Structures are given as structure tokens and as C-alpha cells.
Amino acid sequence: MFSLRAKKALVTGAGSGIGAAIAKTFSRAGAHVIVADLNESGGRHTVSEIVSVGGTAEFVTLDVTSETACQTLGREILAKHGPLDVLVNNAGIGAVGTLLTTSGSEFDRMLQVNVRGIFNVTRAFLPAMIERGAGSVINMASAAGLEGLKDRLAYATSKHAVVGLTRSAALDHAKSGVRINCLCPGRIETPFVTSRLAEYPDREAAYLEMCSTQANGRMGRPDEVAALALYLASDESSFVTGAALAIDGGMTAGSGRF
């Protein structure tokens, strides 16, 4: 198992799903985890799960769309813990719609959370990491950031932007000692996906259809994404920066079904 012993990690959107899995995986690897989320009950639940098995964690409320809130938290964490070792920009939202069925406000909200949120949080924590000369930033993109996705125009647009932000920032700071990468999951069985299934008249058929878009015939699990995040957070990935790593059961490998 890759080690994060004595490291400090902040994970946004860690109150559920992939973010919670990353926070718990990092804790098991030895990190002190700062769980950041707008959902206080979900975030505190993640912290309690970590603490219950002997890990150390704390909860902070964070609206990633607020530049002021992000800068304030950055100063508070720096004063309390020093520079972060790992920053995971996981907070994000999804939406269904085409160019014609997506409203302007829905489109703007998607970019505000999924793209500007990463911009805001990273700007708050990156300077201290650069000054120390070490760190790993992991952004949550999507397989929808690597190719188009039917009926998900705003979401796919935002995730393409995350890939571009990641690659450009990695190049800008490649010699600083800070590595910046992103993960591109396919369909992962998270609470968001589960809630979407409830909208279909035939839940089982919808589930099987979602599974079929992966070449291996199933959706991924949050802990599988967390395992790849752990690799990027660890020192073993020291030569990896600017990467957009697909973890999608073969979805983007050429099936053409995504």
C-alpha cells in the first residue's frame, strides 16, 4: 500500500461518494485528512468513520465557488498545519441536458462549481506548496472530459475544462516540485448515480444500461477511484504530472458507446 504517513491532505466534496472514499483511503495510508464539504452532516460523518478506526481527520465547511471562503480557509489551514502535502479537488455537480435543453443559468452553475471551484481552491493552497517545493494536486475530471457525452453538454464541457486546467497548471509549475494531475472516472456507483436511477421507470434496466457503457460491463466503485488517487498522492508517482488518467472500465478505449 502506498504511504501517506505524516502527510496532510485536504479533500473537497468528501461528505459522500468518491470524495469520502478518497478521504478514508488517505487516512488508512497514514494521512491527517481535512474533510471539506458544504454538507456538514455528510462531512462530519466521513470524519467520524475515519476517527472510529483510529485515523485522524477534521471537518471544515467550504463553498468552493466562493473565492473569499477558499482564501480564508487557505490561510487558516496554513497557520494550523503548514502547507498541504496533498490537495484533492473533488467537489462537483452533474446535470442532464443538451445545448437546447440546458438553461444558461444551469450551464453557468456547472462551470462555477466544477471549474471555478478548482481554480479557487487551488489558488488558495498552491502558493504554500510551491514555496515548500513539494506537493500533489489531484483534480476530479471525468471520462466525459476526454470525449463527448450525449445529453450531458454542460457537464462534459466542464470536465473538458478541468483536463485543460490541469495540464496547463502542471506545465506552469512543473519545476516547482508540485505535481498536478487529474482523474477521469467512468460511471461510478455513487449516491448521485443511485439517485438518478430512481428517475427511470425501469430501474433495473437503467442500471444494466449504465453498466453496459463500460467495456468490462460494470460500473466502478468509489474505492477503486480512491486507490488511483492514493497513487497520485504518494511519492511513488513522483514522475507523474500533467496526466489525465482514465479509470473507466475501458469506456474510452475505443468502444464508441460512451
231 belongs to the catalytic site = no
Is there a contact between 33 and 26 (Cβ–Cβ < 8 Å)?
Answer: yes
Provide the 3-class DSSP secondary structure of residue 59. Answer: strand
Question: Which amino acid is present at 110?
Answer: M
The three-point CA angle 235-169-28 to 5° equals 30
Catalytic residue among 155, 200, 207, 231: 155
Q: Give 112's Cβ-side CA count (13 Å radius).
A: 10
Q: What is the largest CA-CA distance in the chain?
A: 54
What is the rounded end-to-end Cα distance, in angstroms, of the chain? 32
What distance in Å separates the CA atoms of residue 53 and residue 226, rounded to the nearest whole number?
18
Is there a contact between 194 and 151 (Cβ–Cβ < 8 Å)?
Answer: no
Enzyme catalytic residues: 155
